[in-house]
Structure 1
Amino acid sequence: MKQKNILVVDDEAHIRELLRYNLENSGYVVEEAESGEDALQKIGEQTFDLVLLDVMLPGIDGLEVLRKIRQENDQRNLPVILLTAKGEEIDKVVGLELGADDYIAKPFGIYELQARIKTVFRRLEAYEVKEQPQEESIKINDLIINKSQYLVDKKGKSITLTHKEFELLYLLARHPGRVFNREFLLETIWGYEYIGESRTIDVHIRNIRKKLEGDYIATIRGVGYKFADEG
């Protein structure tokens, strides 16, 4: 899986260093910018997956940087999390109105920040998956999965699945070989965060396997599941 590239924008060197250290230890690639001008230049020259943007910057402030990203830059859909000083309620409101994906107030805990980053990435991934054209019928090996009729056929035999089981199978089958983690599957299929209940996915996968009588769905230990593209 491709590493996510994050741009950290803050005029305080010790904050940039702290964020770089923790984010790189979490598997992200990190670039730094110490001003709004520097950030806009780097965004224009490189491709980033997310920007951590301090509001209080010298010269062009964070809100203006955000405005330029959303209005003028080729990366106008680039996810942005604002870093705001505690109590700057007006900046949070304006930032969200300008299109910030989230904000977090300083001082913040690194675990909270990492959780916010993961949530933004999951939300973006869910949006991209939902926006892809849905095929009415998917045929993989001996399976036919008919979305319009919510029917699954295996070698001419109809397989009865519950609504959630079907949605889960259909999502995995649309992306054979792609690994989805449990949290993403929960948010996408159930429509909200099922915090602490990732066993729900395991139970549904087990039921699907039993009904299909084949190893269509592979477990990626410690991560999640993928459609194995073979029965």
Structure 2
Amino acid sequence: MGKNKILVVDDQIGIRLLLKEVLKNEGYEIEEATTGKEALDQLNTTAFDLMILDYKLPIMDGTEVLEKLEKDNVEIPAIVMSGLVENIASEARKYKLVKSVIAKPFNINEFVEKVHAIVGNRTNMK
């Protein structure tokens, strides 16, 4: 079995680099996108096991990405990140793809545990 693939979507390079390094060390294969449009383009060409999606993105924000994926019946579990989690949690959870909503800044160990739980469940279902 190959490595699980995760798409990290965030316009902040620091967050992308941190998540890429931490998740690669956990054995995941990581791709990055800086905008919602980029994320959708990558999801059209590559199968991912998880998408880590920033709620606030330039050009096309996280909710627009989730709406498009659900409309197109794309099955990919998502973790949504936001600096304003209390404002967006209930809205983000409306989407069936959203498995978790995480506040920035986050505890990296808790974050990794959530990733393992979501990807592990998905892998067990294959």
User: What is the TM-score of this pair, normalised by structure 1?
Assistant: 0.51
Answer yes or no: is the 8 Å Cα contact 2:53–2:62 preserved in 1: yes
Deviations 1:204-228 (A, max 9, x none): xxxxxxxxxxxxxxxxxxxxxxxxx
Task: Supply the RMSD in Å over aligned alpha carbons.
Answer: 1.5
Letter in 2 for 1:117: V
* Alignment match, 2:9: 9
1:50-61 alignment, distance < 5 Å: 50-61=50-61
Report the Cα offset of residue 125 of structure 1.
4.2
1:1-231 alignment, distance < 5 Å: 1-72=1-72, 76-86=74-84, 88-99=85-96, 100-125=98-123, 128=125
Paired residues in the alignment total 125
Distance (Å, rounded) in 2 between the aligned partners of 1:84 and 1:123 = 24
Q: Which of the two has higher C-alpha Rg?
A: 1
Deviations 1:44-100 (A, max 9, x none): 111111000000101110011011111115xx21111101114x3242111111121
Answer yes or no: is the 8 Å Cα contact 2:49–2:122 preserved in 1: no
The higher relative CO (CA closer than 8 Å, separation ≥ 6) is in 2
Answer yes or no: is the 8 Å Cα contact 2:7–2:48 preserved in 1: yes
Letter in 1 for 2:108: I
Letter in 2 for 1:10: D
Letter in 2 for 1:3: K
User: What is the TM-score of this pair, normalised by structure 2?
Assistant: 0.91
What is the identity percentage for the equivalent residue pairs of Structure 1 and Structure 2? 36
- Give 5+ residue unaligned stretches, structure 2: none
Answer yes or no: is the 8 Å Cα contact 2:9–2:54 preserved in 1: yes
Answer yes or no: is the 8 Å Cα contact 2:48–2:76 preserved in 1: yes
Distance (Å, rounded) in 2 between the aligned partners of 1:68 and 1:113 = 25
Letter in 2 for 1:112: E
- Give 5+ residue unaligned stretches, structure 1: 130-231
